[in-house]
C-alpha cells in the first residue's frame, strides 16, 4: 500500500498524503527512514544545520543509507564551534557532506547592503533569502533531489507543532523521521550511541544558527528571543 500511494501521489493529492502519513506515524523512526528510502522517489538527500541535536538525525539516516548526500548551508557567519562540530561529525560518521553557500560572499554582501540582520524584519528576511533559501534551492536542484530528509520535530517550536512525517515542499517529498520525538527521546538516543550535543548546548544555546542572530537562553530571556531578536523563528530553509 505504501509503495502504491507514493507512486500515485500527485502534488495536490491531499487524501493520498494523509493516508501515507497515517501509515508512517505508526512506524519507529528508523523504519520511517528505511521505508522512505525504499518507496519515495530518488535522489534522496539529507539536510542538516548541524545544530544542537543534529547528531541524532545524521546518525539515524546514515546508518540506514551510508553515503547519502548531506547538505549544509554555510552562511559564512556560523559559530566557530559549529564549523568544528561539522568537521567532528563528518569524520566520525563518514558523512558525504555537500556544502552550499550564497554566490555573493559575506564581505561582498556587507559592502552592497550593509549588515542586513541589523535592518529589522525586512533585512533579516532578505538576508535569509540570500544566504539560506537560494543556496538550498540550488543544492536541491544540483543534486536532482526528489526526496529530502530533515530532523524537524514538533516540540522544537510553535511554528513546527503541526509538521507531519511526510510533506510536499517545493515539488518534492520531505521526510521528518523524528517529527514526534521529545527532548528526552533525543537525549536517550544521543547517550545510547555516544553522540555529542553541539558544544554550545551546555552554554544555554538551545537553537543555534548564525552568531549574529542567535542568543543563549540567558541572553534572550525567553524561548521566543533565541533567534532573530524575537522577530521570527524560522529562517526560510523549511518554508515554501
The cell numbers describing 222, all together, are 525567553
Residues 163/154, Cβ–Cβ less than 8 Å: yes
Residues 224/206, Cβ–Cβ less than 8 Å: no
CA distance 170 to 148: 11
Q: Specify whether 196 is catalytic.
A: no
For residue 133, give the DSSP letter: I
CB burial readout 133-145, b (16+ within 10 A) else e: bbbbeebbeebeb
Name the active-site residue from 235, 237, 238, 240: 235
What are the CA-CA distances from residue 86 to residues 47, 95, 137, 151, 174 (Å)?
13, 10, 21, 16, 23
Give the catalytic positions in this structure.
235
Amino acid at each position: 500500500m505504501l509503495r502504491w500511494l507514493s507512486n500515485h501521489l500527485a502534488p495536490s493529492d491531499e487524501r493520498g498524503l494523509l493516508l501515507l502519513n497515517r501509515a508512517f506515524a505508526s512506524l519507529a523512526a528508523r523504519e520511517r527512514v528505511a521505508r522512505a528510502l525504499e518507496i519515495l522517489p530518488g535522489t534522496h538527500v539529507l539536510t542538516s544545520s548541524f545544530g544542537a541535536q543534529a547528531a541524532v538525525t545524521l546518525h539515524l539516516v546514515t546508518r540506514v543509507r551510508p553515503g547519502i548526500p548531506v547538505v549544509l548551508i554555510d552562511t559564512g557567519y556560523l559559530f566557530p564551534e559549529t564549523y568544528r562540530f561539522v568537521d567532528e561529525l563528518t569524520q566520525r560518521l563518514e558523512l558525504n557532506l555537500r556544502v552550499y553557500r550564497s554566490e555573493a560572499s559575506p564581505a561582498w554582501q556587507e559592502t552592497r547592503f550593509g549588515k542586513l540582520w541589523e535592518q529589522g524584519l525586512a533585512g533579516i528576511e532578505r538576508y535569509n533569502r540570500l544566504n539560506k533559501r537560494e543556496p538550498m534551492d540550488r543544492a536541491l536542484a544540483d543534486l536532482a533531489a526528489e526526496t529530502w530528509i530533515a530532523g524537524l520535530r514538533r516540540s522544537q517550536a510553535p511554528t513546527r507543532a503541526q509538521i507531519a512525517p511526510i510533506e510536499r515542499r517545493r515539488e518534492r517529498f520531505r521526510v521528518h523521521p523524528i517529527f514526534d520525538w521529545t527532548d528526552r527521546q533525543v537525549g536517550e538516543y544521543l547517550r545510547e550511541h555516544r553522540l555529542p550535543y553541539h558544544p554550545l548546548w551546555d552554554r544555554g544555546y538551545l537553537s543555534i544558527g548564525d552568531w549574529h542572530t542567535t542568543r543563549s537562553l540567558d541572553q534572550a530571556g525567553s524561548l521566543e528571543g533565541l533567534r532573530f531578536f524575537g522577530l521570527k523563528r524560522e529562517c526560510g530553509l523549511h518554508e515554501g
